[in-house]
A and B are shown apart, each in its own frame.
Chain A
Amino acid sequence: MTVTPMAAPAPQTTGAHPRGRGRRSPLASLGLHATLIVASLIAVFPIVWVLLSSFKPGHAVQSSELTLVKEPTLANYSYVLFDTSFPTWMVNSVVIALCTMLIGILMSATTGYALSRFNFPGRRHLLLVFLVTQMFPVAILIVPIYQIMAALGLINTHAALVIAYLTIAVPFCSWMLKGYFDSIPTSLDEAASIDGAGPFATFWKVIMPLARPGIAVTAFYTFLTAWGEVAYASAFMQTDDRFTLAYGMQQFVPQFNAQWEYLTAAAVLVTVPAGLVFLYAQRHLVSGLTAGGTKG
């Protein structure tokens, strides 16, 4: 990975490039900021547009007239919050997502640690299996999993969804955390074991606190997986009081004549908790996520 020596010693270096990294011409700075601002606008805009629309009355949402906010109203929110089962769904979703998150972190952290530190028989197979699990189309697994859940008597319970979401999130998270643990020097483990700590104590007291960025990303990923999933929720949950938000919201979109004004308000309310988890995790996202990738 050495840099190929430049044949010609670049005569144009008096132009835009002689400055080192961090020192660039005002024009380049302007271009950089402009590009980033445009990109940020595109990234944020659909969310903002839904947010704005959620404050409009129904007829304004469904008009082709371009307005930012006209006749702002909270009617959509009050309808969604008080005249539907939305609060129940919200509680269901929070419970399921938090359980998935906690169990998911615990499972993928122990697995990731074992994969990173111990060269046990079966290790390479397991890593391969994690990749293969990503290839299964969820839509196809639903029926067999439904039958298993039915056999276990778990249909229409939160546990069914938590377990199903764990199967989606844990392989990726274990694999990602393995990469993160790889980046923590093993000398720390050795020091702990000289001090008499067993593998479990080492893991729990020494490595886990150091792996906080990785854990934060796992938390984010598992929470979001559980929060936004629709297919399993629609298959396993049967009564209105057990629906999750993602599935319950579908009721606002019948095949024809969608109630867009309620949908936008519900969408905002659904996004807020996910956004909070995101704000907590985002500082760690960059360092936490990639360690897994660099090791392959």
Chain B
Amino acid sequence: MSTATATPPARTSPPPRETPRPGRLRRSWDKHWYAWVMVAPVVIVLAVLIFYPLGRGILLSFTDLTEANQLAEICDRSITGAEVCRPNPNAWQYIGLDNYADVLSGKVGRFWQWLGITLIWTVGCVVFHYALGLGLAVLLNRPIRGRGVYRVLLILPWAVPAFVSAFAWRFMFNEKFGLINSLLEAAGISRVEWFADWKTSLLTAIVANIWLGVPFMMVTLLGGMQTIPTEQYEAAEIDGATAWQRFVNITLPGLRSVSMTVLLLGTIWTFNMFPVIFLVNGGGPAGQTEILVTGAFRSAFEGIRNYSMASTYGVLILSILLVFSVLYRRALRKQGEVW
């Protein structure tokens, strides 16, 4: 089954279905076999472990499968030791769009609230990631003493595994003995019950995630800046452009393609960022700061594992991101003509 799903991406584009010229597929193979061999391992792994689960997930979202009703048969050991099996009366079945209706109408979970929080979370994080990353990259792109040291120190948060940073921030925001409250107190400001209110609670997670994500943006943007030819800057200087004018008219346009890519990736990654919310504030207080992924995870996997509900959320999240990417690309293409 795996190979059947694996081959289409490689083979479908020149439709080999009708074979008026029998040599066509053959010639295509002769010409491209090494390319296909090189990508085959990745395609197979992705097909088996991403696209098969995805297809299955979409299918599951139309059922009511849970941990409790997954067996088609119930088997009991009788007194003699023989196994007696009978059909499970409460076995799972197809229920059409009921899961989607339940989720979107708010009957199960709090989809719209989570979506709202996810949007605040994603926009907040990505804007700061990009702005801070860009600012630091501009500074680091100048000839400056100790540039290597600064760069290592600034990228360091990236090297720390996300769950460790999440613990570190939770530790620092701890209400009783956390460093941040101690500092506030030392400065004469009253301590803050960070995790008691949803706004401050979300803030702690956003701060932790900004800290976590800036290095990636900074490094990619810095690399992008180094591909901009220095002649452009020299010419601008001769024309008397100020630093700000050089930044707006050379650096930003030169970074356009890098920026567009990292912004899209950053948005997708942040949208699906599981560990930070899960570990820093646990979606608290009382689940008010769950984002879609963590909320879906909790509502589907706490208690009786509800596989069909998990799939429903998965399909919804994927759809949102797909729509976003399509709109994003379209907006870019339009803008590209103006640029």
Residues of A within 8 A of B (CB): 1, 3-6, 9-10, 12-13, 17, 20-22, 24, 29, 32-33, 35-36, 39-40, 42-44, 46-47, 49-50, 53, 61-66, 107-108, 110-111, 113-115, 117-118, 120-126, 129, 131-141, 143-145, 148, 163-164, 166-167, 170-172, 174, 198-200, 203, 224, 227-228, 230-231, 246, 249, 253, 260, 263-264, 267, 270-271, 274-275, 277-279, 282, 285-296
Task: Give Cα A157 to B72, complex, Å.
Answer: 28
B14 within 8 A of A: yes
Taking a contact as CB atoms closer than 8 A, the residue among B168, B220, B314 that contacts A290 in the complex is: B220
Which of B91-99, B105-113, B169-177, B196-204 lies at the interface with chain A? B169-177
B293 within 8 A of A: yes
Nearest-CB residue, chain A, relative to B318 = A135
CB contacts (< 8 Å) of B150 on chain A: these are 36, 39-40
CB contacts (< 8 Å) of A108 on chain B: these are 42
B144 within 8 A of A: yes
Are B169's CB and A121's CB within 8 A? no
Nearest-CB residue, chain A, relative to B137 = A286
CB contacts (< 8 Å) of A17 on chain B: these are 242-243
Ordered by A's residue number, 29 sampled pairs between the chains whose C-beta atoms are within 8 Å are A3-B250, A12-B242, A21-B143, A36-B139, A44-B156, A46-B157, A46-B211, A50-B171, A53-B171, A66-B179, A108-B42, A114-B38, A118-B35, A121-B10, A126-B10, A135-B325, A137-B274, A137-B314, A139-B296, A140-B57, A144-B53, A144-B56, A148-B49, A231-B275, A253-B167, A267-B167, A274-B160, A282-B155, A290-B227
Which of B78-86, B121-129, B253-261 lies at the interface with chain A? B253-261
Are B172's CB and A46's CB within 8 A? yes
Majority-rule SS of A interface residues = helix
Nearest Cβ distance between residue A100 and chain B, in whole angstroms? 12
Q: 1/0 per residue B264-284: CB within 8 Å of A?
A: 110011001011000000000
Are B322's CB and A135's CB within 8 A? yes
Taking a contact as CB atoms closer than 8 A, the residue among A35, A40, A122, A293 that contacts B224 in the complex is: A293
Nearest Cβ distance between residue A251 and chain B, in whole angstroms? 13
B119 within 8 A of A: no
Nearest Cβ distance between residue A187 and chain B, in whole angstroms? 19
Nearest-CB residue, chain B, relative to A217 = B219
CB contacts (< 8 Å) of A148 on chain B: these are 48-49, 52-53
Are B39's CB and A267's CB within 8 A? no
Give the number of chain B interface residues (Cβ < 8 Å): 121
Nearest Cβ distance between residue A118 and chain B, in whole angstroms? 4
Nearest-CB residue, chain A, relative to B250 = A3
CB contacts (< 8 Å) of A110 on chain B: these are 38-39, 41
